[in-house]
Chain A
Amino acid sequence: MNLRKTILATGVAFSALATASFAHAEPTAEVLHWWTSGGEAKAVAALKEDFEAHGGKWVDSPVAGGGGDAAMTVLRSRVLSGDAPAAVQLKGPAIQDWAEQGALADLNDVAEAEGWDKVIPPAIQSVMKYEGDYVAVPVNIHRVDWIWANPELLAKVGATEAPKTWDEFNALADKLKAAGITPVAHGGQPWQDATVFETVVLGLGGPEFYQQALVDLDEDALKSDTMKAVFDQMRKIRGYVDADFPGRDWNLATAMVMNGDAAMQIMGDWAKGEFLAAGKVPGKDFICSATPSEHGYLFNVDSFAMFNVSGDDKVEGQKLLAELIVGEKFQETFNLLKGSIPARLGVALDKFDDCAKKSEADLLAAQDAGGFLPSMAHGMALRGHLSGAIVDVVTAHFNSEMSSDEAVERLVEAVELAKD
């Protein structure tokens, strides 16, 4: 009887030991993300393969819908119930929000071992760090301030390249309009209005003004004459879009440029994916050119924030995942699929297209000139409630007959109200 008990107990102990050591041997990471379609889904699958090839166990938690809103709701409840996923697709100041709550894990030892400080651009490092500690890892750099143009339509009014100043932009658009061509393809959704708005702020005000107005929310900058000029330019652009623009999705606007229904679109480089998917060649079938600015570059960086997890296997998995994400191999595969450029400098761009190469070259130039800035419209510069307040005013102005003076007044009020 006793013997049998002992054997049983030993057996149980052994099997417990075995499971424990087995679990320890397999680093596990649960990844919460909303990349569920098209190139994005493929990009995540690439990460999963890489992770599994390194002996990790990947637990996929995709939450589609609402451009991440649904995922954020899930995240909130998971964190509140003390069961956070290891890695969460999270970007910009939202990372700081979660870090303030003490929910994020410290990645400094991986960062040191891998030398992240040397390869990640400083402006992006500051987004990934909370009080000097790495809490998140960047996966890519999207550039927001692009003009995508149809060379055939530009040729009809004698232009061979996209405009280099906003005056040129207006002159070209007027010519196109006179020739019966819709100058600007645009979708009237608040975030698209804001995308155009911030490129105009960068162009007319310059990088320093952009920093003051849309990053530091300096009141003098917000109510300056430059800001009024920005709203004047927005009103002009409103005249260059077709009548059916409200509510149109960005990819339909891109298709208009592709199909020759409109000449130019101001949009981030995810638009490039649409052109490439249709078999178009950059430089020949479409032109990618930065929106007019003095060495400005607005970045939109996707990243994964690492949440506090318990259990050796999970901590291990998290570190392995972080290491792989910043690794050269993943940065190359992922960004080829997603249409952006690596968030790690120095990755060979041989396999990338000309627009991506231009993006990297401009990035380096912008960094030297102090024009490498976070995008406001894409949640990189400001916390949600602040950028939301600005976007409200921008879209209200763009979609009504509001004067620039009134828009500036409302902008200051809205920011003031959102701040407290």
Chain B
Amino acid sequence: MGASSSTESNLTASIQRHLSKIVVAPSFAASLFFVYGFILWTGYMAFSKSRMLPVWDWAGLRQYERLWQMERWHVAIENLLIFGGLFIVICLFLGCLLAVLLDQRIRAEGVLRTIFLYPMALSFIVTGTVWKWLLNPGLGLESMMHDLGWTSFKFDWLVNSDMAIYTVVIAAVWQASGFVMAMFLAALRGVDQDIIRAAYMDGASLPRIYFGIIIPSIRPVFLSAIVVLAHLAVKSFDLVIALTGGGPGYSSDLPATFMYTMAFQRNQLGVGAASAMMMLATVMAIIVPYLYSELRGGKKNG
């Protein structure tokens, strides 16, 4: 009796000890296979001769060479730089500004916060479609201004090959800046009020308090926001599809839409895989240094 109850309690104890590991094991295995396994597989595909169906014949760096010879890939990369750069900078600026303004203990803050945050609740497809209507010269803003009598008004970015990518920036900023605002607002609320009061006592002006004390103290949030925005930018797909369809021509193609076209429409699995690996490399270049600094920082604190 006594022996069996002690093994039982041993078993219970060991289950309890390993419970967390047992619980996460299935999802760990699933993500190991479905995420990292397929990353490896895509990596191999990029070195294969695959066209319509995956094949295992080695092609060396040929797919990457072909990728970089494609005019369309260069357009996609250039667009990513324009889009990603502007998207991140404008979102940070607007988000920070809105957060600071909302932080002034104003009336109806809750309502305003909700209004600014709501676009994030929409899917990119909806955002893209709505902005497509708004920006279409024959349908939206331009035609409305013409109807109101301002006939010289011209805003045809959506149908202009050189400017189409900027309409994607507009829609994406509209969607994501509220989210950045929420991040900053939370951080601002976390700043120690005593320091601010002390600075106030010393006669520092409000802008000086913000630039000198508050914003430096919420620096980690900038980093988090940049990482979130950057990976949103790199993987942007549905917004472009809904808003411009990659057009006019392919002038607003992004790497993700390029990859989709090659892999699923053109029977060019190899080139598609190569472009996917380039996107992965871009995201890694942003995330890895961030994780490294985070983890090292954690150790220091511990």
Binding site for B on A (CB under 8 A): 66, 69, 72-73, 76, 79-80, 97-98, 101, 188-190, 193, 242-247, 383-385, 388, 392, 395-396, 398-400, 410, 414, 417, 420
Q: Is B42's CB within 8 Å of the partner chain A?
A: no
- Verify if B247 is at the interface (C-beta below 8 Å from A): yes
A385 in contact with B70 given A69-B265, A399-B251 (CB within 8 Å):
no
Q: How far is the CB of B273 from chain A (nearest CB, A)?
A: 14
Task: Produce 1/0 per residue, B17-31, CB < 8 A to A.
Answer: 000000000000000
Judge whether A244 and B249 touch: CB under 8 Å: no
In the complex, the answer to whether A190 meets B264 with C-beta atoms within 8 Å is no
Task: Check: B72 CB closer than 8 A to any chain A CB.
Answer: yes
Known: A80-B53, A188-B159, A385-B51. A247 touches B248 (CB 8 A): yes
The smallest beta-carbon distance between A184 and chain B, in angstroms, is: 16
For chain B, the count of residues having a C-beta within 8 Å of the partner chain is: 32
With A69-B265, A189-B245, A244-B138 known as contacts, the answer to whether A392 contacts B52 (CB < 8 A) is no
Find out whether the CB atom of B249 lies under 8 angstroms from the CB atom of A243. Answer: no
Question: Least Cβ distance of A241 to chain B in Å?
Answer: 11
B36 to chain A minimum Cβ distance, whole angstroms, is 21
B248 cross-chain contacts in A, Cβ below 8 A = 188, 246-247, 395, 399
- Are A101 and B71 touching (Cβ within 8 A)? no
Quick one: closest A residue to B263, CB to CB?
Answer: A73
Contact B71–A410 (Cβ < 8 Å)? yes
Contact in complex: A395, B250 (CB < 8 Å): yes
Closest CB of chain A to B21's CB: distance in Å? 33
- Verify B53–A243 contact, CB threshold 8 A: no
Contact of B245 among A243, A247, A417 (CB under 8 A): A247
B59 to chain A, nearest CB (A): 11
Given contacts A76-B53, A80-B53, A392-B72, contact A384 B245 (CB under 8 A): no
Tell me which residues across on chain B come within 8 A of A384, comparing CB atoms: 265-268
A-B contact pairs, 10 of them (CB 8 A): A76-B52, A246-B248, A247-B244, A388-B261, A388-B266, A392-B71, A392-B250, A396-B250, A399-B251, A414-B71
- Closest Cβ of chain A to B231, distance in Å, is 25
Contacts of B267 in A (CB 8 A): 97, 383-385
The residue of chain A having its C-beta at the shortest distance from the C-beta of B267 within the complex is A384
**Considering the complex of A and B, which 4 residue pairs feature the smallest CB-CB distances, nearest first?**
A399-B249, A244-B138, A399-B248, A246-B159
User: Which A residue sits closest to B71, measured CB to CB?
Assistant: A410
Closest to B249 in A: A399
Q: Which of B51, B156, B247 contacts A188 (CB 8 A)?
A: B247
CA distance A388 to B261 in the complex (A): 9
Provide the bound-state CA to CA distance between A410 and B71, in Å: 9
Q: How far, in Å, is A383 (CB) from chain B's closest CB?
A: 7
Q: Is the CB of A245 within 8 A of B159?
A: yes
Q: How far is the CB of B25 from chain A (nearest CB, A)?
A: 27
Among B70, B136, B267, the one with the most A-chain Cβ atoms within 10 Å of its Cβ is B267
Please report the C-alpha to C-alpha distance between residue A216 and residue B261 in the assembled complex, in whole angstroms: 24
